[in-house]
């Protein structure tokens, strides 16, 4: 049986024919590891986001909280997935090294290792410094490990799919791409939030970003990355509605982790948030699949980009309240600050966020572009 792995090098697709075999059972084990990593990624970023909401609500500051339990359950699943991948790699070193998903498992192992260090580090930091801000060394380290893990999972699922023989398992892999991309997207948003939100002043350290710099980062990087991930998910999964499902999963995680725990302060805006986002997301998905490729890509990028402020409610308005001199000390301040400035913020950010979204979509199309292939035979024994 021949394995054909797809490698992208300088926009040139190279199909490398390999005679090395990897048993179906081993492939199924690796797929199972990626499915476990997908669940781990969802729990990690969901738990981390919930934990930050708990901090803002000033709930008891301790390491042993429900949100930490969810977060570190996810971390445990990621470590299990990485351990499975490492075990199979050590048993089949030559066979796996030739496969395109090899890099994904290396990234998964690196991400899991970072998380293993970050967990005890966070416990020690809490023990020594008590209440900490968002931008603390163990938090940033943990966020880096989570982000690397979600990247690894998406890359792994996309690259292992052509090697799976079972139609049933192919279906599992395709379905898993939706939560995998959602975890990647939400993790990316929160990683950017580290450099945007005014939540990093603790008892002993003041790491809050400069308000003007935070707005520039938010208005450019958030739309760019959101549009990029949206387009890559749409093209990778290849079905109309898949990117909408990914965006819906991100919105659901945001609602459950950030809005529901503070619903009395934030819930009244949720219907308006959905009313603004659903048409834009569905329209972007349709544009990608039904319009001409370049036109659809630009429409999708603009739609995803321009809605970034509402998409990232309730956290992002805290950053804008800072520069607009509105109160933002707690969740109770968000809507009273947001309503009178909403159209001002949208008017101020519409053009740069739409342009950033279009550029992100263009970059996303380059990542998954499949030009004319040339075949190189590289038979090994």
pLDDT at residue number 165: 84
Asked whether residue 180 falls in the same domain as residue 256, the answer is: no
- Do the domain assignments include residue 379? no
Contacts of 205 (CB under 8 A, 6+ apart): 129, 132, 133, 136
For residue 225, being part of any structural domain is answered with: yes
Q: Are residues 214 and 176 in the same domain?
A: no
Q: Is residue 62 part of a domain?
A: yes
- Give the lowest-confidence range in 160-164, 247-251, 267-271: 160-164
pLDDT of residue 111: 96
> What was the pLDDT predicted at 243?
98
Q: Are residues 140 and 244 in the same domain?
A: no
Q: Are residues 183 and 231 in the same domain?
A: no
- Mean pLDDT of all residues in 239-256: 97
Please say whether the dihedral angle defined by the alpha carbons of residues 152, 135, 116 and 186, taken in this order, is positive or negative. Answer: negative
Residues 188 and 219 grouped into a single domain: no
In a domain, 377, yes or no: no
Residue 359 and residue 226 in one domain? yes
Q: How many domains does the chain have?
A: 2
Residue of higher predicted confidence among 275 and 17: 275
Of 171, 193, 208, the one marking the end of a domain is: 208
pLDDT-above-90 percentage for the chain: 66
For the beta carbon of residue 367, count every other beta carbon within 10 angstroms: 12
Is residue 167 domain-shared with residue 33, that is, in the same domain? yes
Residue 127 lies inside a defined structural domain of this protein: yes
Residue 9 lies in a domain: yes
What digits encode the pLDDT tens for the residues 109-163? 999 999 988 878 777 876 776 666 788 888 899 999 999 999 999 999 999 988 8
Choose the final residue of a domain: 208, 225, 252. 208
150 occurs within a structural domain: yes
If asked whether residues 90 and 199 sit together in one domain, one would say: yes
- pLDDT score, position 131: 64
Q: What is the pLDDT of residue 375?
A: 36
**233 and 198 in a common domain:** no
Which residues on neighbouring strands pair with residue 17, listed in sequence order?
4, 377
pLDDT tens column, 358-371 = 999 999 988 865 43
CATH label of the domain that carries residue 10: 1.20.120
**3 pLDDT more than 70:** no
**What average pLDDT does this structure show over 369-375?**
39
Least-confidence region, from 1-15, 275-289, 359-373:
1-15
Domain assignment of residue 136, yes or no: yes
Please tell me whether residues 214 and 203 are part of one structural domain: no
pLDDT grade for 14, boundaries at 50, 70 and 90: very low
Q: Which of 22-36, 161-175, 320-334, 340-354 has the highest mean pLDDT?
A: 340-354
Indicate the average pLDDT of the chain. Answer: 87
Range of the domain at 237: 210-368
Same domain, 290 and 349: yes
The residue among 185, 208, 231 that closes a domain is 208
162 and 255 fall within a common domain = no
What would the 3-class secondary structure string for the chain be?
CCEEEEEEECCEEEEEEECCCCCHHHHHHHHHHHHHHHHHHHHHHHHHHHHHHHHHCCCCCCCCCHHHHHHHHHHHHHHHHHHHHHHHHHHCHHHHHCCCCHHHHHHHHHHHHHHHHHHHHHHHHHHHHCCCCCCCHHHHHHHHHHHHHHHHHHHHHHHHHHHCCCHHHHHHHHHHHHHHHHHHHHHHHHHHHCCCCCCCECCCCECCCCHHHHHHHHHHHHHHHHHHHHHHHHHHHCCCCHHHHHHHHHHHHHHHHHHHHHHHHHHHHHHHHHHHHHHHHHHHHHHHHHCCHHHHHHHHHHHHHHCHHHHCCCCHHHHHHHHCCCCCCCHHHHHHHHHHHHHHHHHHHHHHHHHHHHHHHHHHHHHCCCCCEEEEECCCC
pLDDT digits (tens, 9 = 90+) for 217-245: 999 999 999 999 999 999 999 999 999 99
């Amino acid at each position: 049986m021949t394995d054909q792995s797809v490698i992208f090098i300088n926009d040139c697709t190279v199909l490398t024919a390999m005679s090395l075999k990897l048993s179906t059972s081993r492939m199924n084990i690796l797929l199972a590891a990626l499915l476990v990593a997908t669940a781990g990624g969802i729990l990690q970023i969901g738990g981390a986001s919930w934990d930050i909401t708990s901090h803002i609500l000033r709930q008891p500051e301790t390491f042993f909280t429900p949100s930490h339990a969810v977060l570190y359950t996810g971390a445990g699943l990621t470590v299990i997935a990485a351990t499975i991948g490492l075990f199979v790699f050590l048993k089949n070193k030559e066979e796996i090294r030739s496969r395109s998903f090899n890099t994904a498992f290396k990234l998964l192992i690196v991400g899991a290792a970072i998380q293993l260090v970050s967990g005890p580090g966070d416990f020690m930091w809490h023990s020594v410094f008590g209440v900490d801000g968002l931008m603390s060394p163990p938090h940033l380290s943990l966020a880096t490990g989570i982000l690397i893990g979600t990247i690894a999972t998406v890359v792994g699922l996309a690259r292992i799919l052509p090697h799976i023989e079972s139609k049933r398992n192919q279906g599992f892999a395709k379905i898993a791409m939706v939560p995998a991309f959602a975890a990647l997207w939400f993790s990316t948003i929160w990683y950017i939030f580290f450099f945007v939100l005014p939540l990093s002043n603790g008892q002993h350290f003041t790491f809050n970003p400069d308000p003007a710099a935070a707005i520039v980062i938010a208005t450019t990087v958030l739309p760019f990355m959101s549009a990029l991930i949206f387009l890559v998910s749409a093209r990778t999964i290849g079905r109309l509605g898949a990117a909408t499902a990914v965006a819906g999963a991100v919105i659901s995680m945001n609602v459950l982790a950030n809005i529901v725990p503070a619903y009395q302060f934030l819930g009244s805006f949720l219907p308006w948030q959905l009313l603004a986002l659903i048409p834009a997301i569905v329209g972007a998905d349709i544009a990608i699949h039904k319009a001409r490729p370049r036109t659809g890509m630009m429409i999708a990028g603009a739609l995803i980009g321009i809605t970034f402020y509402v998409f990232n409610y309730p956290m992002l308005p805290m950053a804008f309240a800072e520069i607009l001199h509105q109160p933002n000390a707690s969740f109770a301040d968000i809507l009273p600050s947001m309503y009178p400035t909403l159209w001002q913020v949208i008017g101020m950010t519409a053009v740069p966020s739409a342009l950033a979204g279009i550029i992100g979509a263009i970059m996303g199309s380059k990542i998954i572009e499949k030009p004319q292939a040339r075949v190189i035979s590289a038979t090994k024994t």
